[in-house]
Amino acid sequence: MAAILSTTAAQHVASLSKEKGKQSLLKHLGWQPFNAELAMRHDIHLDFLYECLMFAVEKGFSWDQVCAAVDFSEQLLQESIGKSLPDTLEIFKQKSEELGFVLATRNYKVYAEYVFLTFMRQYRLFQYVFTHDRESRVPNVQLEIHTPPSSCSEALKTAKEKRIWEYNQKYEAVQQRERDCAEQRAAKREIQAAEAGKQKEQMMKKITESQEQQPLNKEKVGEIIREVLQAHTSALLDKMKNNINDMKEDLELKLEKTSIPRPANMGQPPRFNTKPKTPAVTPVRKPKSPKEDRKKSAGSSRSRSRASKS
């Protein structure tokens, strides 16, 4: 009986899991790799030999006996293709003498029973698989491929990743809102400046008319001063409120910028200085006391008298 598997190969296959063991057996048999779904006949053939090998190992056969059992199963399968069941039983009877000599009585009976419970019981299925080619159904679909126009080549060179593009779009949207807010503030300041100019003109006109009607007295001057102070205070309060609102809006927009998820490959996000610049403090000179002035004048007079004596 020609050996198709060495004892070393059998030991290696038996030491692996089923899937890895089948792949190892495939290599030791010298078969080419195949797709199990497209080549089911090869897959069933390989699975049959692997189950025979593992059965012999589990029953405690020696490694020589394991290889002999696999060789016997392979020859029985190959010679039975296209034959009837009685013919296959005759083939089994002819080869049993050589198999019994290698396996001995006990192991021969165990393995013969295994062959009849598996291969012989499913004989028709094995015959159908190995005598009928499977119908191949490969889908054939025609696809029309449109290549991008040449005008897109330059745009593709400057293209950005989707994450970077989305980040830039969100960031630019916030910057556009900042620009819109700056324009609205400038227009609002112009309106306020125009209203202040009108109020100033109205105030000057009122003073002129009052002066023409009657000379200004103390009470009239005090009333005019109070109106001017009231208008100035109101304008100053409005300006302070506007500055506070503008600062709050600027901080909210900066916070929104920094909260946008930034892709890691763009580096660190820009940092904003939220603290206002502290103006430089001009040192104030303390006024000199009368005592220091007298001491300085006395010292200068003494020095002049000494210079005249000399």
pLDDT, mean of residues 95-108? 87
Q: Is 287 within a domain?
A: no
Same domain, 232 and 120: no
Q: Is 124 within a domain?
A: yes
What would the two tokens of residue 210 be? Answer: 């009052």
The answer to whether residues 9 and 28 touch, using CB atoms and an 8 Å cutoff, is yes
Same domain, 91 and 194: no
What is the C-alpha to C-alpha distance for residues 77 and 126, in angstroms, rounded to an integer? 9
Tell which residue, 165, 85, 145, 166, has the closest CA to residue 119.
Answer: 85
Which band of pLDDT confidence, cut at 50, 70 and 90, is reported for residue 55?
very high
Residues 135-150 pLDDT 10s: 766 677 888 888 777 7
The answer to whether residues 228 and 203 touch, using CB atoms and an 8 Å cutoff, is yes
Angle at 298 between CA 295 and CA 299, to 5 degrees: 85
Same domain, 105 and 185: no
Least confident piece of the model among 88-92, 162-166, 263-267, 288-292: 288-292
Residues 111-120 pLDDT 10s: 999 999 989 9
Instruction: Please tell me whether the overall predicted TM-score, pTM, comes out greater than 0.75 for this model.
Output: no
Residues 230-276 pLDDT 10s: 777 877 888 888 888 888 888 888 888 888 888 877 777 666 555 55
The answer to whether residues 25 and 50 touch, using CB atoms and an 8 Å cutoff, is yes
Give me the domain span that covers residue 203: 162-266
Q: Is 273 within a domain?
A: no
Same domain, 77 and 189: no
What pLDDT, on a 0 to 100 scale, did the predictor assign at position 50? 92
Same domain, 15 and 122: yes
What pLDDT, on a 0 to 100 scale, did the predictor assign at position 238? 80
Phi/psi class of residue 139: alpha, beta or left (left: φ > 0; alpha: ψ in -120 to 50)?
beta
Q: What is the mean pLDDT of the chain?
A: 79
Provide the 10 A C-beta neighbour count for residue 230: 10
What pLDDT, on a 0 to 100 scale, did the predictor assign at position 4? 76
Measured CA to CA in angstroms, residue 82 lies from 24, 41, 42 at distances of 29, 15, 17
Report the number of distinct structural domains present in the chain: 2
Q: φ and ψ at 4, to 5 degrees?
A: -105, -5
Same domain, 18 and 122: yes
Q: Is 214 within a domain?
A: yes
Same domain, 182 and 97: no
Q: Is 112 within a domain?
A: yes
What pLDDT, on a 0 to 100 scale, did the predictor assign at position 1? 41
What is the C-alpha to C-alpha distance for residues 3 and 17, in angstroms, rounded to an integer? 24
